[in-house]
Amino acid sequence: MNSWKTGVLLSILFLSFAHPSFALERANLLLYVSFERDIMPAVSGGKIGSGSTEIKFLYGTEKDVELVPGVRGTGLKAKPNLSFQYLTRESFSRKEGTIAFWVKPTGWSGLSIGRNFLFVRSDRVSINFYIYPGGLMLFFGIPNKYYLIYPSGDQRDPFRDGEWTFLAGTFRPGEQSFYVNGRFMNTMTEGLLEPEFSRRGIVEIACGNQVLDEIMVFDRVLTEKEIEAVYKANSP
């Protein structure tokens, strides 16, 4: 990993030093995929390196992987014929956490068709960040049952071709929330499908036409101020 990329990583890992009022510490970051030289995690299971994380290709192969300019350094160019999973149970707390990443449309904007960005799969519940003609959504679902958390106001469609957007979702028993570009958007507290990561934990890159970068999984629900700080630490 290049020294400047390591600096970005450290700025996330040690936000508590720059912001004494925050409780965010190095150990809170369980998974970090920077796409700096390849698609392997820079942090897995809370430790530097890929650990026991395995990669499983659903569509395409390693030869289809293309790294392009990211929000910092390089990012992953998603493709219609490329999808793969990080099998990384070690990188999730059992019942709570924060998932965050950057996404940039390439060759599209607006709500003309649905586009998936990232899936997270627990023992039973799937979490999906995606946009549909109805707007940007954070999806929690099981077979034959699901619900959507929408952002508010103009963030229903924050995407512009060639511009980066930061998405984050948090979950814990009794509460699930959605953030866009470091700002709190919405929360749900009733009728929840609650993910539990006791047998599996999967981060899945969806087929598409966008660039992804700086995928992070934290071991707890970050506060609004902490999410804003992570956003500002990586903002282009």
Instruction: Please report which residue ranges of the chain form alpha helices under DSSP H.
Output: 3-13, 15-18, 224-234
User: Average pLDDT, whole number, for the chain?
Assistant: 88
Which residues is 205 bridged to in the sheet? 84, 118
Question: Dihedral of CA 189/176/153/80: which sign?
Answer: negative
Residue 41 — φ and ψ, nearest 5°?
-65, 145
Reply yes or no on whether the pLDDT at 2 is more than 50: no
The pLDDT value recorded for residue 140 is 96
pLDDT by residue (tens digit) across 105-161?
Answer: 998 876 667 889 999 999 999 999 998 877 889 999 999 999 999 887 767 778 888
Q: Spell out the domains of the chain, with CATH numbers in brackets.
A: 3-234 (2.60.120.200)
Q: What is the pLDDT of residues 215-224, one digit of tens each?
A: 999 999 999 9
pLDDT at 3: 40
Average pLDDT of the segment spanning 3-30:
59
Total residues belonging to the chain: 236
Residue 9 in this model has a pLDDT that exceeds 60: no
Residue with tokens 């998936």: 116
> 160-195: per-residue pLDDT in tens?
889 999 999 999 999 999 999 999 999 999 999 999
Longest CA–CA span in the chain (Å) reads 47
